[in-house]
Amino acid sequence: MKRTIRLFKEHGLLRVIDEEVDIDLEVAHIAYIETKKDDSKALLFTNVVSKRLDKKFSMPVLMNTFCSYEATNLLFGKDPDTVASQIEELLHLKPPVGFYGKIEMFSKLFGLRKIFPKRESEKGECQEVEFKGEDVDLFDIPVLKTWSEDGGAFITMGQVYTRSLDGKKQNLGMYRLQVYDKNRLGMHWQIHKDGAHFFHEYKKAGKKMPVSIAIGGNPLYIWCGQAPMPNGMFELLLYGLIKEENPRLVKSLTNDIYIPKDVDIVIEGFVDPLKSEIEGPFGDHTGYYTLKESYPVMDVTCITHKKEPVYQATVVGKPPLEDKYMGWATERIFLPLLKTTAPDLIDYKMPENGVFHNLILAKMKTMYPGHAKQFMHAFWGVGQMSFVKHAIFVGEDAPELSSYDELSDYILDRVSVENIIISEGICDALDHSSPGSCYGGKLGIDCTEDNVNYPKKEIISDNELYDKMSSISPEITQIKQYKTYTKTPLTIIKVKKLHPVREIYEKLFNLQKYTKLLIFVDDEKNDIDNIYMLVWRIVNNIDAKRDIFLKKEFIGIDATNKNEIDGFKREWPGDTECDLKVINNLQKRKIIDVDEEFLRKFYI
């Protein structure tokens, strides 16, 4: 971590905070606000305390490591598109022709020797200081509590190293870990992840599962932990490919798991398949709390660290956050691998305010009727792409996928009921809007052809349209029209819901000559002038099978919070919000310097 800190200092990308700040809420709130600034920097907290534990920590805390595109490129040592080109070249290696062709191929293959992890027999610098048995104390690490309603303190940048029961497969995952007490952690293994698959092997065999958690070291370790590598491939191979150097591993002291020698902190232990405990709530990267649920427990047997360790953490919640830049690198680097399944794919983008798995935009070359719909099913069946809830496909003549204003015009000129497909499949365990856990509706829209033909809508002012709508349904409190010049003019409608939104939509059907796409949101906590956060709310809150209404060319989307009015049986979680007293106190101490407009803009 110290190398990263020096690198960021040299490039003006580090802000050092020497004022005393608390690991409960204060540190996370400062980082949460910093990540949303246009000139976001990494944060080094040198004076962290816990009033709850009556403790002052000597260990500094580094946050917002992936603070910008510039910082991400520095950490990689190259542009992610360069890495993508390397992968694409390897995927398309052909038998060499002639002597020089053989030399060139040998050179490429010889270079690949650097990607494989190497195990060393000596202790690593991560093991300079060690605590075992009764000396183990997780409370000596400045683990943060991020949100007021969190179930406790959570390790958020933990590199979770596991291996299969037969020892043939290794895995590096990025999972949150709740601190229960001085020597126990909650393991948030989602059922679709490799760590959970290994766990079930040990459970079936009736054996305890070894786990080691590393924190710090090269920030690329944690990025590799969240990368969507093919099943069975060790994520550190990707580190070797990017850095062109072998990851150097050492054995944990109390189990057989190997971890990088240069990480800052290592937490070792075992997970007993017979033990579980309630984990959560936790304000997660969706911007909503994930609710309490039973998860496996890790008994910690040993903690080691460098002589002068740095604790690395992240804050997750409403976008934009540092996962914006981590996700951007992942998106760029894995494009070639995605093309092996969808060869006519040109590019794709997962906007951070779409919470990545909630929205994907894809540009493709269409070769035959139904090609885009075929792609939708291919995406929904591939690795972590199978978690994507909403996919919009555009043709090769579409604007750049990052040019959202122009792209939305293109899409809205191609939306029709015929071009929409509603399916179902697995979804992320963090998704709160599906009727059941981990399974729900999926939406695909084929916007690859300009084939929408019907009369143009009669556009009237917002005030006129509001008067007409509110006279039909008094539950409507405000409306705003967007993109009225396209073939799909849309209207955002705020409601104080007393009846299912479908009933309101049905009542408005006679107004179809004025608008085409109705999007309903709750009256509270939504600003209909703030498109960025509206996209975040909408894609989070809908299940395609339940919340999309298609009647001729009059389309409704129910993006309200669901409750008993809707027959929703699960608990609907709250969204993450900073503690106002903490914010006011930090402002008074001049540790944060944003105004009320900034706080409102990002629903802070």
pLDDT digits (tens, 9 = 90+) for 445-501: 999 998 888 888 999 999 999 999 999 999 999 999 999 999 999 999 999 999 999
For residue 100, pLDDT beyond 50: no
Give mean pLDDT, residues 24-32.
97
pLDDT bin (cut points 50, 70, 90) of residue 97 is very low
For residue 417, pLDDT beyond 60: yes
Residues contacting 418, CB < 8 A, separation 6+: none
534, 526 in Cβ contact below 8 A? yes
Instruction: Tell me the backbone φ, ψ of residue 409, rounded to 5 degrees.
Output: -60, -45
The average confidence (pLDDT) of the chain is: 91
Q: Measured between alpha carbons, how far is 315 from 323 in angstroms, rounded to an integer? A: 9
Q: Which of 63-77, 396-410, 415-429, 509-523 has the lowest mean pLDDT?
A: 415-429
Q: Among the options 150, 194, 264, 284, which is catalytic?
A: 284
pLDDT, one tens digit per residue, over 140-188 is 999 999 999 999 999 999 999 999 999 888 999 999 999 999 999 999 8
Q: Is the dihedral of CA 24, 188, 335, 404 positive or negative?
A: negative
Give mean pLDDT, residues 61-66.
97
Instruction: Return the number of other C-beta atoms located less than 10 Å from residue 512's C-beta.
Output: 15
Q: Measured between alpha carbons, how far is 412 from 483 in angstroms, rounded to an integer? A: 8
pLDDT for position 266? 98
Residue 178 has which token pair? 């709740």
Pairing of strands 265-279, 293-305: antiparallel
Q: Measured between alpha carbons, how far is 304 from 125 in angstroms, rounded to an integer? A: 9
348, 335 in Cβ contact below 8 A? yes
Q: Measured between alpha carbons, how far is 464 from 457 in angstroms, rounded to an integer? A: 15
pLDDT bin (cut points 50, 70, 90) of residue 105 is very low
Peptide bond into 435 cis (omega under 30): no
pLDDT bin (cut points 50, 70, 90) of residue 375 is confident
Q: Measured between alpha carbons, how far is 465 from 459 in angstroms, rounded to an integer? A: 9
Q: Measured between alpha carbons, how far is 509 from 328 in angstroms, rounded to an integer? A: 40
Using alpha carbons only, what angle is made at residue 381 by residues 437 and 411, rounded to the nearest 5 degrees? 90
Q: Measured between alpha carbons, how far is 176 from 167 in angstroms, rounded to an integer? A: 24
Q: Which of 164-168, 217-221, 338-342, 538-542 has the lowest mean pLDDT?
A: 338-342
Instruction: Return the number of other C-beta atoms located less than 10 Å from residue 337's C-beta.
Output: 17
Percent of the chain having pLDDT more than 70?
95
The domains of the chain are located at 2-77+116-313, 323-447, 462-566
pLDDT for position 95? 54
Give mean pLDDT, residues 268-283.
94
Q: Which fold has domain 462-566?
A: UbiD C-terminal domain-like (3.40.1670)
Helix then strand count (H, E) for the chain reads 18, 31
CATH class, domain 2-77+116-313, is mainly beta
pLDDT for position 452? 86
pLDDT bin (cut points 50, 70, 90) of residue 387 is confident
- Where on the phi/psi map is residue 148: left (φ > 0), alpha (ψ -120 to 50), or beta? alpha
Nearest to 293 by CA among 310, 278, 314, 282: 278
For residue 99, pLDDT beyond 50: no
Task: Please indicate whether the domains covering 323-447 and 462-566 agree at the CATH topology level.
Answer: yes
Judge whether 18 counts as a catalytic residue.
no
Q: Measured between alpha carbons, how far is 321 from 464 in angstroms, rounded to an integer? A: 39
Strand 311-313: give its sheet, edge to edge: 14-17, 42-45, 61-63, 311-313
Give mean pLDDT, residues 75-95.
76
Burial-class residue 547 by CB neighbours within 10 Å (0-12, 13-18, 19+).
Answer: buried
Output the furthest CA–CA distance in the chain (Å, rounded). 81
pLDDT, one tens digit per residue, over 118-133 is 999 999 999 999 999 9
For the domain bounded by 323-447, which CATH number is listed? 3.40.1670.10
pLDDT, one tens digit per residue, over 321-374 is 999 999 999 999 888 888 888 889 999 999 999 988 899 999 999 988 889 988
Rg from Cα positions in the chain: 25
Nearest to 396 by CA among 441, 348, 356: 348
pLDDT bin (cut points 50, 70, 90) of residue 91 is low
